[in-house]
């Protein structure tokens, strides 16, 4: 009976979440204003992508407040870091989590020097955060499989923003997704948040096409993996959805802005493909909020 009631309750919660667009009750009006001010102060080049990435609505939906200890997975060039660093600077923490050292060679095109440069960039993440925030911030850089033990069980939120497809891409070969989700559970407090923004594949797509190598993942697969690791899906937003993104089975997500990779096409065909893909816009993305049980 207990198992049945638990299952029924979970189904009712998920049903309610399915209609949820934006839930920002955890974020006060003052914090929303602070976040808006930081977002508005960035360069025009950075703000140009706000209509596709929706940082204000996304971070509010996840419930990120300035006093939280947050980790950003694969921060890359720092587009979100430039928002999070000043937002968390005074009362919070901002950490970075990179792919494991063993993951990078699996791509097959990174040189040893490039892999070393990425490791060095993560090691220097506290300096980067301090630069973006304009002041020292409690921060660290780590990688999956080599966690910062001093923050284990202390984080309030971990953000996977377009960072899951390559982890799934190498799951069969190296267990990369399983390790990332296990490490996420180790780092988070009970009740901690996992925020996911990920290129979304239709559930009707073949599993082999949605293995991450094309950039897209199925929501059902992510929900099942996080559930197995001890996380409940508590909210879903359509804020980063794009119904015009309808990839065929020969398409990859990188055909779309900002990459506009047209593969072997040249000349007029290449320009026509770029124009068509610009008209689609950035990818269709699911935005999911999980809570650690």
CATH code for position 70: 3.40.50.150
- For the stretch 204-220, pLDDT in tens is 999 999 999 999 999 99
Alpha-carbon Rg for the chain in angstroms? 19
Asked if 233 contacts 257 with a C-beta cutoff of 8 angstroms, the reply is: no
Beta bridge partners of 248: none
Q: What gap in Å lies between CA 74 and CA 97, rounded to an integer?
A: 6
First and final CA of the chain: distance in angstroms?
20
Structural domain boundaries enclosing 264: 2-292
pLDDT confidence of residue 1: 44
pLDDT confidence of residue 17: 42
Residue linked to tokens 């506009």: 260
Structure tokens at 209: 């096409």
Number of Cβ within a 10 Å radius of residue 141: 22
Distance (Å) of CA 30 to CA 33, 107, 111: 5, 43, 46
What lies within 8 Å, CB to CB, of 72 at 6+ separation is 80, 81, 84, 94, 95, 96, 97, 159, 161
Beta bridge partners of 72: 96, 159
Q: What gap in Å lies between CA 230 and CA 238, rounded to an integer?
A: 24
pLDDT confidence of residue 188: 98
Q: What gap in Å lies between CA 137 and CA 89, rounded to an integer?
A: 5
pLDDT confidence of residue 26: 83
pLDDT confidence of residue 21: 39
Contacts 24+ apart (CB under 8 A), 133-138: 133/85, 133/86, 133/88, 133/89, 134/86, 134/89, 135/89, 135/90, 137/85, 137/88, 137/89, 137/92, 137/93, 137/94, 138/69, 138/92, 138/93, 138/94
Give how many domains the chain has, as a whole number: 1
Task: Please give the sequence-ordered ranges of beta strands (E in DSSP) within 202-284, or none if there are none.
Answer: 217-218, 231-237
pLDDT confidence of residue 106: 93
pLDDT averaged per 10 residues in sequence order, the chain, 293 residues? 40 40 72 98 96 97 98 96 98 97 91 90 96 97 97 98 97 96 98 98 96 98 98 98 96 97 94 97 98 98
């Amino acid at each position: 009976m207990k198992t049945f009631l638990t299952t029924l309750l979970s189904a009712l919660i998920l049903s309610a979440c399915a209609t949820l667009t934006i839930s920002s009750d955890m974020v006060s009006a003052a914090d929303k204003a602070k976040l808006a001010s930081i977002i508005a102060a960035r360069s025009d080049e950075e703000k140009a992508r706000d209509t596709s990435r929706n940082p204000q609505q996304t971070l509010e939906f996840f419930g990120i407040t300035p006093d939280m200890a947050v980790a950003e997975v694969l921060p890359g060039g720092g587009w979100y870091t430039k928002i999070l660093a000043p937002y968390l600077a005074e009362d919070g923490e901002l950490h970075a989590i990179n792919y494991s050292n063993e993951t990078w060679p699996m791509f097959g095109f990174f040189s040893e020097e490039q892999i070393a440069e990425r490791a060095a960039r993560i090691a220097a993440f506290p300096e980067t955060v301090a630069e973006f925030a304009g002041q020292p911030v409690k921060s660290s850089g780590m990688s999956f499989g080599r966690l910062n033990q001093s923050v284990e069980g202390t984080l309030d939120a971990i953000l996977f923003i377009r960072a899951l497809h390559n982890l799934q891409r190498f799951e069969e070969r190296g267990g990369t997704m399983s390790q990332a989700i296990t490490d996420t559970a180790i780092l988070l407090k009970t009740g901690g948040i996992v925020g996911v923004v990920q290129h979304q594949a239709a559930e009707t797509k073949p599993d082999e096409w949605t293995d991450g190598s094309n950039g897209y993942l199925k929501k059902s697969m992510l929900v099942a993996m996080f559930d197995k690791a001890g996380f409940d899906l508590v909210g879903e937003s359509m804020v980063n959805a794009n119904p015009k993104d309808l990839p065929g089975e020969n398409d990859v997500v990188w055909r779309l802005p900002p990459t506009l990779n047209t593969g072997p096409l040249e000349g007029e065909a290449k320009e026509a493909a770029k124009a068509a893909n610009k008209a689609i816009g950035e990818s269709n993305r699911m935005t999911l909020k999980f809570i650690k049980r």
